Chains A and B, each alone.
Chain A
Amino acid sequence: MTTTSTIDDATAAPELAPAGALASALRRRTSRAALSRLLPLTGLVGLVLFYWIAAGDRFMSFDNWRNLVQQAAVVAIVGFGLTFVIVAGSIDLSVGSVAALAGMVAAGVATPHGALLGVLAGIAVGGACGLVNGFVFAVLKVPSFIVTLGMLSIARGLTLVYSHTAPKPVFGTFEALGGEPGIYWVLLGALLLAFALFNATTFGRYTRAIGGDERVSRLSGVPVTRMKVAIFCFGGLMAGLGGVVLSARLGIATPQAGTGFELTAIAAVVLGGTPLTGGIGNVWNTVIGALIIQVLNNGLVILSVAPEVQQIIQGAILIVAVLVALERRKIGHIK
């Protein structure tokens, strides 16, 4: 009887407690969970209201919002893939570089071979990078932080090599992907795909299980190693798609595209309510998170806040948002 876990000790609902105490304890627990789920959406609404009051029509105009959503779209698309990686308990720091590589390859292939092949090539390149990430992480057991940190540099280097450090323009159908209504269709399609994958497939179930507890998952028949490779591959595919859309939107693929993007994407996932510790989260959260970031930036620019100050505010918001939503008891040790 000496090895009952301490989790049991600290948190199990005592069956013998008087009904009143139990009921209020349950109520406290549910409202806390509900609070942390609604927080991102509330935050977004609050931000919008704030800027509306502070900047009026400059903020709430159709043009502004069009721009905003398009910028958020790229973050969101990449974020969808990243959501799976984070819910599974890992991290992917290479998404920015992979997006740049994908965009560059897409542009390079599209010019001689047409838009469709170009887009497919870009996405495939993203998937290949993800596959490598996943393999080195899951099979060779190098921590995901390190693998993807390495891939960040490698993919960036490959982009420079492939492009001979020169940008590549994109035209025609390809470019349409980045404009209206192309970009909305891509965003919607990616959202539906990611949503379905997360909620209606064994892939999504297993992702959440692995993030919940890897040992338990393995002992319950989850093919953990295979799943990890697949999750990173998916992350890479979405990063690839994001990179393609980004170069389409800009009309040009540059070797510097997406620099620092990974941090924005990670922030989008986290601000949307998906904890970095894994196990819980949803794709919809990432949409809200991407919007929060874009709205925040957009509003700061409209209000003519200096760029340096913008950076400080962005960083502070990220910390505060996670701080408020964090349930400290659930985390064994925070690194």
Chain B
Amino acid sequence: MSTPNRPAVAAGGTRAALIGRGLRKDYPGTHALAWAPADELVVAAGEIHALVGENGAGKSTLMAIVAGLTAPSGGTLELAGEPYAPASIAEASRRGVGIVTQEAGLVGALTVAENFFIGRAAEDATAGVVRRRRAGAIVRQALAGFAPHVSPRALASALSLEDQKLVELARAVHFSPRLLLVDEMSAVLSGPRLARLFEVLREQRAAGVAVLYISHYLEEVRELCDRVTVLKDGRLVTTRDAAATSERELTTLMVGRETAEHLYRSDRVAHTGGDVVLRVERLTRPGAYRDVSFAVRRGEILGIGGLVGCGSDPLARTLFGALKPASGTMELGGAPYRPRSPREAIARRVAYVPPDRDAEGLLLRTPIAANVTLAVLPRLARLGLYAGVREPRLARTLIDELAIRCRGAADVPLNLSGGNRQKVVLAKWLLSEADLFLLHNPTRGIDVGAKAELYALMRRLAAEGAAVVLLSDELPELIGMSDRILLLRRGALAYEASREQAPSEEQLITHMV
């Protein structure tokens, strides 16, 4: 549901630097952005405009489109009054759009100075020949107000993440953009650096630059920004004056929705009475998570949530043997559990559905039949011999059971839609007859119909006595499916709630940020 977007009068300037209308970004079976044709985002020159929303609301997709990283499936963009459809970041940069991304934006193998002028020949070279000293001087001057301790000759990979982001900011500002995109920078900066960031942004605003700022931290948004636009589920909700809107109102705008409760579970009872399947004590891995302790029982669905970088991803991989903890213990079925590889975890009846099914969950060009038996080959083979006689039948049974839409067991996942690919991944783990299922964002990028089927499958697994750990970015999913919810923040456990307590999304968010 979206209300018609009527932007309030911009503070400072009235000239629009960026106008985005009716933007859409589609992927097979789902969408990342789906604005109504009349929905409009107006970022004025000389304002700091915040973009807020949950994971999956479309913020980064919008940034990617404006920065030239990807093209929209529909809608239009206008930059300083001219139509704007950049084919690449380089073109966006030439048109005056600077960006500091959420992920690494520097090429690790190049020096700071070389990174500065990537995609822009002019300043550091004469007729294609690089002038190192001149480049160095320019870069040193550009870095002066941001990270004066960083040398232009330093390798980008040798810098801390904080310094890398500062270099990216210095670079973006150096080329005098008319629109500056800043994606989640405050997550990596602290103390005086953060204050300096705010200073820089205010300076840019005073100079007439339009700043589009993404952040999860609502008090920061209200302190720094003039206006704030809320995105939710790929839709544009509204644009408000930042000072005039309370954090509570913003949160409600971000998450308030008609919960599709029928998708998840109909019971309100927490199934937490079974035997302990997995017990984790004080698990620590520097830089990822610390002092994490919890237990999962038979028949229980344990939800684990948190912001990007909260540590849930490395934690899940540690439970599956793909990463090693620095300290702490794990017990599976009462016996010590220290898997040295996923192979050992699988032998101990643990299953893991990774968040990126195409890159980690499936062999895209290998037949479905071979995909689903891969994890259990040691059990199906005899003395290393495996002619795959039973394989087509096994695959067909699973295809029927999970209603996978494909051309048969010999079809390859490359030909399937996202939802069906995910079902193939799940089929693989169903075959492993695991006692503990680690499902990481299992319904990401999947249409509603397939989602409903996957939730039903999860309920069935729990009902049959398996323990399910559901790591998810989607709050409604966590709330709807879990018997218990754990939240991680910056690597540590921050909150726990049971199903009976019926936590709301607002409550969860306050503990996540």
Q: B-contacting residues of A (Cβ < 8 Å)?
A: 1-5, 7-9, 11-15, 26, 29, 199-203, 205-206, 208-209, 212-213, 215-223, 279-280, 330
Contact with A along B282-322 (1 / 0, CB 8 A): 00000000000000000000000000000000000000101
Name the contact of B378 in the complex, choosing from A202, A215, A280 (C-beta under 8 A). Answer: A202
Contact A279–B322 (Cβ < 8 Å): no
Chain A CB within 8 A of B200 CB: no
Q: Decide yes or no: A1 and B417 within 8 Å by CB, A279-B365, A330-B365 being known contacts.
A: no
A29: B residues at CB distance < 8 A: 415
Contact with A along B211-252 (1 / 0, CB 8 A): 000000000000000000000001000000000000000000
B360: A residues at CB distance < 8 A: 215-216, 219
Which 6 pairs of residues, A with B, have the shortest CB-CB distance? A212-B363, A5-B358, A4-B445, A221-B346, A12-B28, A200-B387
Contact B342–A220 (Cβ < 8 Å): yes
Name the contact of B363 in the complex, choosing from A199, A200, A221, A279 (C-beta under 8 A). Answer: A279
Contact A202–B384 (Cβ < 8 Å): yes
B445: A residues at CB distance < 8 A: 1, 3-4, 8
Give Cα A303 to B302, complex, Å.
75
Contact A15–B29 (Cβ < 8 Å): yes
Contact B341–A218 (Cβ < 8 Å): yes
Chain A CB within 8 A of B149 CB: no
A202: B residues at CB distance < 8 A: 377-378, 381, 384-386
Q: What are 23 of the A-B contact pairs (CB < 8 Å)?
A: A1-B444, A2-B56, A4-B30, A9-B28, A11-B415, A12-B29, A12-B414, A13-B416, A29-B415, A200-B387, A200-B388, A201-B381, A205-B374, A205-B377, A205-B386, A206-B377, A209-B363, A209-B370, A215-B360, A216-B363, A221-B346, A221-B375, A280-B365
Give Cα A2 to B356, complex, Å.
11
Contact A13–B374 (Cβ < 8 Å): no
Name the contact of A7 in the complex, choosing from B30, B347, B358, B444 (C-beta under 8 A). Answer: B358
Name the contact of B417 in the complex, choosing from A15, A26, A201, A220 (C-beta under 8 A). Answer: A15
Name the contact of B415 in the complex, choosing from A12, A201, A217 (C-beta under 8 A). Answer: A12
Contact B361–A219 (Cβ < 8 Å): yes
- The distance from the CB of A87 to the nearest CB of chain B, in whole angstroms, is 12
- 11 further interface pairs, Cβ-Cβ under 8 Å (given A11-B414, A12-B421): A1-B234, A2-B58, A5-B358, A11-B415, A14-B28, A29-B415, A205-B377, A212-B363, A218-B341, A221-B375, A221-B377
Give Cα A199 to B421, complex, Å.
25
Q: Decide yes or no: A8 and B28 within 8 Å by CB, A1-B444, A209-B374, A221-B374 being known contacts.
A: yes
- The distance from the CB of B23 to the nearest CB of chain A, in whole angstroms, is 13
Give Cα A219 to B361, complex, Å.
8
Chain A CB within 8 A of B354 CB: yes
Q: Decide yes or no: A200 and B322 within 8 Å by CB, A2-B56, A209-B363 being known contacts.
A: no
Contact B364–A2 (Cβ < 8 Å): no
Contact B27–A9 (Cβ < 8 Å): yes
Give Cα A282 to B343, complex, Å.
26
Give Cα A208 to B370, complex, Å.
10
Which residue of A is nearest B355, CB measured? A3
Give Cα A201 to B376, complex, Å.
13
- The distance from the CB of A16 to the nearest CB of chain B, in whole angstroms, is 9
Contact B366–A219 (Cβ < 8 Å): no
- The distance from the CB of A200 to the nearest CB of chain B, in whole angstroms, is 4
A200: B residues at CB distance < 8 A: 385-388
Chain A CB within 8 A of B208 CB: no
Which residue of B is nearest A208, CB measured? B366
Contact A218–B342 (Cβ < 8 Å): yes
Which residue of A is nearest B415, CB measured? A13
Name the contact of B32 in the complex, choosing from A1, A212, A330 (C-beta under 8 A). Answer: A1
A223: B residues at CB distance < 8 A: 341, 343
Give Cα A5 to B417, complex, Å.
12
Chain A CB within 8 A of B98 CB: no
B414: A residues at CB distance < 8 A: 7, 11-12
Contact B61–A1 (Cβ < 8 Å): yes
Contact B384–A201 (Cβ < 8 Å): yes
A5: B residues at CB distance < 8 A: 356, 358-359
Chain A CB within 8 A of B5 CB: no
Give Cα A119 to B378, complex, Å.
33
- The distance from the CB of B298 to the nearest CB of chain A, in whole angstroms, is 23
Chain A CB within 8 A of B76 CB: no
B342: A residues at CB distance < 8 A: 218-221
Chain A CB within 8 A of B270 CB: no
Chain A CB within 8 A of B36 CB: no
- The distance from the CB of A207 to the nearest CB of chain B, in whole angstroms, is 12
Which residue of B is nearest A199, CB measured? B387
Give Cα A112 to B342, complex, Å.
50
Which residue of B is nearest A14, CB measured? B28
Which residue of A is nearest B317, CB measured? A219
Q: Which of A3, A26, A279 has the most CB of B within 10 A?
A: A3
Give Cα A222 to B358, complex, Å.
17
A203: B residues at CB distance < 8 A: 384
Name the contact of B56 in the complex, choosing from A1, A216, A219 (C-beta under 8 A). Answer: A1
Contact A222–B343 (Cβ < 8 Å): yes
Q: Decide yes or no: A3 and B363 within 8 Å by CB, A8-B418, A12-B28 being known contacts.
A: no
Name the contact of A3 in the complex, choosing from B58, B407, B444 (C-beta under 8 A). Answer: B444
Chain A CB within 8 A of B116 CB: no
Give Cα A279 to B371, complex, Å.
13
Chain A CB within 8 A of B338 CB: no
Contact A220–B374 (Cβ < 8 Å): yes
Name the contact of B358 in the complex, choosing from A1, A2, A8, A221 (C-beta under 8 A). Answer: A8
Give Cα A279 to B364, complex, Å.
10
Which residue of A is nearest B406, CB measured? A13
Q: Which of B30, B234, B352, B366 has the most CB of A within 10 A?
A: B366
A208: B residues at CB distance < 8 A: 366, 370
Contact B359–A2 (Cβ < 8 Å): no
Give Cα A29 to B343, complex, Å.
35
Contact B60–A2 (Cβ < 8 Å): yes
- The distance from the CB of A153 to the nearest CB of chain B, in whole angstroms, is 29
Give Cα A201 to B377, complex, Å.
10
Which residue of B is nearest A223, CB measured? B343
B362: A residues at CB distance < 8 A: 216
- The distance from the CB of A18 to the nearest CB of chain B, in whole angstroms, is 15
Which residue of B is nearest A210, CB measured? B363
Give Cα A9 to B377, complex, Å.
31
Name the contact of A2 in the complex, choosing from B61, B381, B415, B416 (C-beta under 8 A). Answer: B61
Which residue of A is nearest B63, CB measured? A2
Chain A CB within 8 A of B6 CB: no
Give Cα A205 to B384, complex, Å.
10
